[in-house]
Amino acid sequence: MLGSIDCMHWKWKNCPTAWQDMYTGHVHEPTIILEAIASKDLWIWHAFFGLPGSLNDINVLDRSHIFEDLAEGRGPEVRYTINGNKKKYFATAQESVRKDVERAFGVLQSRFAMVRGPSRFWDLHTMKYIMTACIILHNMIIEDERELHMEGEHFDTDVAIPIITPNRSRSSTLREFIQVHKQIRDKQVHFQLQNDLVEHLWQMHGSDRN
């Protein structure tokens, strides 16, 4: 479901003049970003709100807490192994779940006119409380409607249920991700990489300026 992560921009009509450049991005108006992940039933199970609209999705993801547990080695106990063409499967699955989060944004805005139109509040914390309350109410509605949909569903008991063997061992890819993530967050490693890059660029182009 991480493929369903996406960002929504909430226009900030009364953004202070001193902050307008910082909060203005590709929308060409001051906005505040909501990062969210939604499941197929439009349940929003991760939300991160409050970053300025001038940031791109990569910068938002870097500041989000979505990978904190994974970086610390905490995650779901069950991990599945996908056989076959992994790249094709992932691309197809990502395209499908990306539509889910976009639909969730649309439903959220259609239910709550306050987050559909530009915000007229001055205080950023007030806007955060409003967005959080709307997401909680949205999930409550989804959970309530989910039980109604399940009552009308009929399952074919003759279809064989595939047996899936979970793999609880930590994969090498996960270990590499945790290691790289910690290195990126380490200040000494950051400054060392920065100095190495400066030295590399000087060796390549410094002689041209002499």
Residue extents of the structural domains in the chain: 2-155+164-169, 171-210
Residue with more model confidence, 1 or 205: 205
Percentage, residues of the chain above pLDDT 70: 68
CB 54 within 8 A of CB 27: no
Percentage, residues of the chain above pLDDT 90: 18
Query: Helices 172-185 and 187-205 sit at what angle, rounded to 10 degrees?
Result: 80
Phi, psi of 52 (to 5 degrees): -70, 150
Residue with more model confidence, 94 or 111: 111
Residue 159's pLDDT band (cuts 50, 70, 90): low
**N-to-C CA span, the chain:** 53
143-156 average pLDDT score: 63
Computed over every residue of the chain, the mean pLDDT equals 77
Which parts of 36-166 fold into alpha helices (H)?
A: 57-63, 68-71, 86-111, 113-116, 124-151
24-49 average pLDDT score: 88
Residue with more model confidence, 157 or 41: 41
Q: How far apart are CA 131 and CA 129, in angstroms?
A: 6
143-170 average pLDDT score: 61
pLDDT score of 6 more than 60? yes
pLDDT score of 209 more than 60? no
Residue 197: per-residue pLDDT = 83
